[in-house]
């Protein structure tokens, strides 16, 4: 992206053209929206649950496609939500504690992954001769 010298739409289409099998598959496709670019697509919500709902997976957070955290976080948060709902329904006296635990667990996962990604990419490993030491520090 940093080498781009043309408009975003043109850059997007010319990048697709670099891969003939992809270009062939998309030959009859039309852009549904204007092409957009972003430098950071990570997000987390400021809450994890509310009255009659739980946020799980991407509904709560998305960190990074390269490090493949999405499916793991989605599955673990869904399992934790199911356990919490079960606790709330069957042992309502424990609901407050169960919801607090759910909240803590959901916030913990993305933070751990963000830290891991930060440590791996800052400074970029390609330029970092001490990458293994940094990794296991
Ligand atoms: C291009 C790309 C590559 C990725 N690669 C990886 C990877 O290699 N490894 C990895 O771990 N993660 C990867 N991810 C991330 C991963 O796909 C997501 O983090 C994960 O699928 C999140 O699961 P989810 O169940 O929260 O959401 P989703 O998988 O998005 O599921 C939500 C479901 O809800 C449905 N839905 C939406 N609105 C409604 C509605 N109103 N009523 C009923 N249903 C509705 C949607 O159709 C969808 O089926 C990638 C993501 C992208 C975009």
Over the chain (137 residues), what is each successive 10-residue block's mean pLDDT? 86 95 97 88 91 95 82 93 97 97 91 80 57 38
Q: Are residues 32 and 69 in the same domain?
A: no
Whether the CB of 58 sits within 6 Å of ligand 1: yes
- The dihedral sign for the CA sequence 128, 132, 135, 137: negative
What pLDDT was estimated at residue 121?
74
Strand-strand pairing, 61-62 and 43-44: antiparallel
The predicted pLDDT at position 125 comes to: 54
Share of the chain residues as helix, strand and coil, in percent rounded to the nearest 5: 60, 5, 35
CB 62, CB 56: distance < 8 Å: no
Do residue 69 and residue 96 come from a single domain? Answer: yes
64 and 12 together in one domain: no
* pLDDT of 69: 85
Calpha distance 86→89 (Å, rounded): 5
pLDDT in tens, 69-93: 889 899 999 999 999 999 999 999 9
Q: Give residue 101's pLDDT.
A: 96
Task: Please indicate whether residue 74, judged by its CB atom, sits closer than 6 Å to ligand 1.
Answer: yes
Which CATH number covers residue 88? 3.50.50.60
Cβ of residue 71 lying under 6 Å from some atom of ligand 1: yes
Residue 28: the pLDDT is: 97
Are residue 28 and residue 70 in the same domain, yes or no?
Answer: no
Mutational pocket test of ligand 1: of 48, 74, 110, 113, the residue with most ligand atoms within 8 Å of the beta carbon: 74
**Per the omega criterion (within 30 degrees of 0), is the bond before 123 cis?**
yes
Nearest CA to ligand 1 atom 10: 68
> What domain range includes position 21?
1-37
């Amino acid at each position: 992206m940093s080498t781009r010298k043309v408009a975003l739409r043109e850059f997007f289409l010319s990048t697709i053209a670099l891969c003939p099998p992809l270009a062939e598959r998309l030959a009859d496709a039309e852009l549904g929206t204007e092409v957009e670019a972003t430098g950071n697509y990570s997000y987390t919500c400021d809450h994890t649950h509310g009255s009659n709902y739980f946020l799980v997976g991407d509904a709560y957070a998305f960190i990074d496609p390269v490090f493949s955290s999405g499916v793991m976080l989605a599955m673990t948060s869904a399992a934790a939500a199911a356990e919490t709902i079960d606790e709330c329904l069957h042992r309502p006296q424990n609901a407050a504690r169960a919801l607090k635990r759910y909240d803590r667990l959901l916030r913990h996962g993305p933070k751990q992954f963000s830290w891991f990604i930060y440590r791996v990419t800052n400074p970029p490993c390609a330029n970092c001769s001490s990458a293994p030491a940094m990794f296991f520090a």
